[in-house]
Structure 1
Amino acid sequence: MSKNSKLVRGYEVVIGLENHVQLSTASKIFSGSSTAFGAAPNTQASAVDLALPGTLPVLNRGAVERAIRFGLAVGAKVAPLSIFARKNYFYPDLPKGYQISQYEIPVVQGGKIEFMVDGERKVVNLTRAHLEEDAGKSLHEDYHGQSGIDLNRAGTPLLEIVSEPEIRSAAEAAEYAKTLHALVMWLGICDGNMQEGSFRCDVNVSVRKPGEPFGTRREIKNLNSFRYLVDAVHYEVNWQIDRIEDGLEIQQATVLYNPDTGETRAMRTKEDAADYRYFPDPDLPPLMIAPDWIERVRGDMPELPAVMAARFQDTDGLPAYDALMMTQSLATARFYEAAREVSGAPKLVANWLMGEVSRRLNAEERDIESAPVTPTQLGQLIRRIQDGTISNNSAKQVFEALWTGEASDVDAVIDAKDLKQSNDTGELERILDEVLAANAKSVEEFRAGKEKAFNALVGQAMKATKGKANPAAVNELLKKKLGA
């Protein structure tokens, strides 16, 4: 059974995701402390973050606006009134003894995420997205057997996005997470840095026989890699099936994934909502969001990926798949648009971005924002292909020189490497006559109906011109001379 199959060993996999998205505000959700990453421990924790007596939280307006932006993007209801609650539990890095979150009435209600997996369109409905504060961090290294507490993250603004349990495979879970990750970055509400904890995935996994009620779920916490997400789900699904097949029960639990061993292990018995004793926070009034506030946020939003992809199909003539690929991220879309403006060749730009550019980015583990070749350079390169100055093969040599920093000007590389195509028809005819005379056997085979013989003649012609002849001209003149 393949990894992407909907049934695993006769069981249906049921997955729901909870994603913690760190909002891109400069200060925390209830205090003025900085949210910058990498500061020395406990240097960005104010009296409010430390929960000192007499301090009161004040809601960050920017965090609310980012929540509204997300709600609008996914077609959700933005609640005109929502409530902050206290989620009570003890942990050393939670100084108040409770976390300020939202429970019964979240700020974003419903919505959906659409994505492609294995060439099929998938829609996953969202339950909610609510605002909350992050906890601090326990540090276990370099403390001589003891643990330290860093409260720099305490109070960092989070939007927790909860899906319905509608995902049915590890592949779907990964594509959902990737789509959500790209969307929050597109909207500018999160920097998406998974290594720094800006985008974290909690995955609820259970299995059942088709048609049966949901099984008992276990939650895999704090996955910060899409590859780890896939591997963790595969392991957990097979672990649960093994246990059920052995006649044992699944206990609801929170588990951690160890990428070194490829296994999940239980961290604690999973709590239910009642265990947290939620109640409205008396220090925070209800959050009121007026219609005109929502409309102001809507007016500041960027064009959404689906809308932009449709525009690329309508105005640029891109196929649906190409348009989807050009809107995988806002940076990719901006790169495509800039290169298209220079080249005037939308399809060729898309081909190069999906082909050579993507290949080099993946090989070097770069993102498109750090690509050595600029949109202007790529556009100029494609323009030289379009006007017949260079062939596709020569274009790859130019691209290589640009990518490695050997040169920065397209025309200078073409001249320096003597890559211009020959468009001298008289000279080309003379060369083709020589090729035909030297390859009489191939000529006979072609006239006997062997198409491969024609390709062999084209190859000989390109070799004779040292690759400088225009391939289209070679094909046209050859066919003319052969009477094809």
Structure 2
Amino acid sequence: MNKYNVTIGMEVHVELKTESKMFCSSKNGMSSFVETSEDKGLEPNTLICPVCTGQPGTLPVPNKQAIEFTQLAGLALDCELSKDSKFDRKNYFYPDLPKGYQISQYDQPLCGKGSLEINNKKIGITRIHLEEDTGKLIHPKGTDYTLVDFNRAGVPLMELVTEPDIESGAEARLFCQKLQQICRYLGISDADMEKGHMRCEANVSLYKKGEDKLSGTKVEVKNINSFKFVEKAIDYEIKRQAELLEEKKKVVQETRGWDSNRNATISQRIKETSADYRYFPEPDIPPLKFTDDYIKNLKKELPELPAEKAKRFGKQFKLPGDDVEILVSDKNLADYFENVVSELREKIQSKEFDIAEDKIVKSAVNYIISELKKHLTESGQSISDIKITPENFAELIGFVASGKINSSAAQTVLSEMYKTGGDPSQIIESKNLIQVSDEGELKSVVQKILDNNAKSVEDYKKGKENALQFLMGQVMSDTKGRANPQVIIKLLKEKLKGK
């Protein structure tokens, strides 16, 4: 394998979250305007009309929102926006393509060259164009026929093509993850691979060191439905091609599908060329023209993107890189964090909490990343689903940072808040969780624990530090977790020193 270098280019399709389909007024199943989406049991062939099913005499009308969404993606990826663009017919015959051709773009895409940076390396974007999605073939188990669901037919589909700059499965995976982030930040797509909103295809070839990077035979790998499989499929294909070349065998230019059960790519068909599709300009849609003012106004709609937000979080909140990465990975999580910080600032300014801002923000980050994320993972929810308001979460963080409750009690309160969305102060009061820091109150408890655990006292005197932790645990148990751990340790050491 060391004899060969790897060339990888990605083709990524993203279904856009528009209200209606690409060339007709039928509802888009991805939009919030449709109450039940495909994965929730939408009946087949209920989001269709004569246009998206290719009935004779119908005419397509381009979806303005889909065009703007594609151009926003282009701007986010530093692409050159085309001032002159057009749609083309891509001719091929397949049961899920009702017209017998697909309206796509060939030589004048909406977006030209751009780039996306991953790990301080720029991956070039060749183009981003817009087309319509196909229907979905359904193969009922135990039957000898195939059904077609046209609900997806005509849904706006953005296709992004990269330059052959990717050199490993891991790089390809990260590229696709960063692209998903950008789509979600822009609000143009949920880009969920498992649901088919985002479909990644890899073009993989190998070449000998010293030769042209495009000199190898390109193999396209399809049917990849998760980021994990993007990496696994490419790594497998690199290994397969290297073994063929080592055995002096020919790598065939073809399309292969990823089989996750076999962890292998399987030959599907010989790869088509653009000539096989007989592209020609779409006669029913006039060319598109965009002015400088249009592009200028579109740029104003760009939100703060993940990379910009990460830089700001690191600088503004003085957070370590790993924490920033987790927070900005999900726009809703980043927004929730900022709302919590905003609430904390208000509480500090109103003198509700007398704590340094950097200390309380760090505490908020730790609880969001560790404790709150744990609840989200266990429940299978996203941050936008939770009942805890940023104001209540900020109040909980303030109670912990100010020492009103200890970390053990905080976990109990957070668990209850997650279930009910309740107010932390009421939960603390109802469960009697206020931390006891009064030394006079705790001295008698500490003395009782020492009297009842003579062996642990002796062990500590012999240098066994674990004995101190055991004694502290006994005090915590006796006080039902309410005792201040720092005060307990102080009192235990004082008492043990005097014994």
TM-score > 0.5, shorter chain as reference: yes
For residue 44 of structure 1, report the CA deviation from its aligned partner.
3.1
* TM-score normalised per structure 2: 0.84
1:243-287 deviation line (CA, Å, top 9, x unaligned): 222221111111112222222211110112222222222322221
Q: Which one of 9, 20, 26 corresponds to residue 16 of structure 1?
A: 9
- Find the residue that maps to 2:164 and give its secondary structure: coil
Q: What is the distance in 1 between the residues matched to 2:461 and 2:135?
A: 80
- Find the residue that maps to 2:129 and give its secondary structure: strand
Q: What is the distance in 1 between the residues matched to 2:137 and 2:277?
A: 21
- Give the direction of change, closer, same or farther, for the CA distance of 1:168–1:379 in structure 2 (3 Å limit): same
Q: What is the distance in 2 between the residues matched to 1:211 and 1:373?
A: 58
For residue 460 of structure 1, report the CA deviation from its aligned partner.
6.4
* TM-score normalised per structure 1: 0.86
For residue 60 of structure 1, report the CA deviation from its aligned partner.
1.0
- Find the residue that maps to 2:95 and give its secondary structure: coil
For residue 362 of structure 1, report the CA deviation from its aligned partner.
2.9
Letter in structure 1 aligned against 2:361: P
Contact conserved, 1:133 with 1:156, CA < 8 A, in 2? yes
- Find the residue that maps to 2:193 and give its secondary structure: coil
Q: Which one of 432, 435, 458 corresponds to residue 418 of structure 1?
A: 432
Task: Please name the residue that 1:331 is paired with.
Answer: 332
Letter in structure 2 aligned against 1:384: F
| 5+ residue gaps, structure 1 | 1-7
Contact conserved, 1:12 with 1:208, CA < 8 A, in 2? yes
Alignment of 1:93-242 (within 5 A): 93-115=96-118, 120-141=119-140, 144-213=143-212, 214=214, 215-242=216-243
For residue 145 of structure 1, report the CA deviation from its aligned partner.
1.2
Q: Which one of 15, 28, 34 corresponds to residue 35 of structure 1?
A: 28
Task: Please name the residue that 2:34 is paired with.
Answer: none
- Give the direction of change, closer, same or farther, for the CA distance of 1:10–1:390 in structure 2 (3 Å limit): farther
- Give the direction of change, closer, same or farther, for the CA distance of 1:391–1:123 in structure 2 (3 Å limit): farther
Contact conserved, 1:205 with 1:217, CA < 8 A, in 2? yes
Aligned length: 468
- Give the direction of change, closer, same or farther, for the CA distance of 1:369–1:11 in structure 2 (3 Å limit): farther
1:365 lines up with 2:358 in the alignment: no
Task: Please name the residue that 1:292 is paired with.
Answer: 293
- Give the direction of change, closer, same or farther, for the CA distance of 1:90–1:392 in structure 2 (3 Å limit): same
Letter in structure 1 aligned against 2:364: V
Letter in structure 1 aligned against 2:24: S
Contact conserved, 2:443 with 2:491, CA < 8 A, in 1? yes
Task: Please name the residue that 2:357 is paired with.
Answer: none
> Greater shift after overlay, 201-210 or 56-65?
201-210
- Find the residue that maps to 1:78 and give its secondary structure: coil
- Give the direction of change, closer, same or farther, for the CA distance of 1:373–1:233 in structure 2 (3 Å limit): farther
Contact conserved, 1:318 with 1:346, CA < 8 A, in 2? no
- Give the direction of change, closer, same or farther, for the CA distance of 1:455–1:29 in structure 2 (3 Å limit): same
Q: What is the distance in 1 between the residues matched to 2:401 and 2:315?
A: 22
Alignment of 1:277-316 (within 5 A): 277-316=278-317
For residue 410 of structure 1, report the CA deviation from its aligned partner.
1.8
Contact conserved, 1:445 with 1:453, CA < 8 A, in 2? no
- Find the residue that maps to 1:108 and give its secondary structure: coil
Contact conserved, 1:25 with 1:35, CA < 8 A, in 2? yes
Q: Which one of 336, 351, 354 corresponds to residue 366 of structure 2?
A: 351
Q: What is the distance in 2 between the residues matched to 1:87 and 1:197?
A: 22
Q: What is the distance in 2 between the residues matched to 1:385 and 1:293?
A: 51
Q: What is the distance in 1 between the residues matched to 2:493 and 2:299?
A: 59
For residue 83 of structure 1, report the CA deviation from its aligned partner.
2.4
Letter in structure 2 aligned against 1:269: I
For residue 341 of structure 1, report the CA deviation from its aligned partner.
2.8
- RMSD after superposition: 3.0
Q: Which one of 371, 382, 404 corresponds to residue 397 of structure 2?
A: 382
Contact conserved, 2:181 with 2:306, CA < 8 A, in 1? no
1:402-461 deviation line (CA, Å, top 9, x unaligned): 3344x7232233233332211213334565677789676577567xxx987876776666
Contact conserved, 1:71 with 1:77, CA < 8 A, in 2? yes
> Greater shift after overlay, 313-322 or 327-336?
313-322
1:217-237 deviation line (CA, Å, top 9, x unaligned): 211223222222233223322
Alignment of 1:35-74 (within 5 A): 35-36=28-29, 37-38=37-38, 39-74=42-77
| 5+ residue gaps, structure 2 | 30-36, 346-359
- Give the direction of change, closer, same or farther, for the CA distance of 1:347–1:123 in structure 2 (3 Å limit): farther
Q: What is the distance in 2 between the residues matched to 1:280 and 1:55?
A: 17
Q: What is the distance in 1 between the residues matched to 2:480 and 2:48?
A: 68
Letter in structure 2 aligned against 1:356: E
Task: Please name the residue that 1:471 is paired with.
Answer: 485
Task: Please name the residue that 1:271 is paired with.
Answer: 272
Contact conserved, 1:134 with 1:154, CA < 8 A, in 2? yes
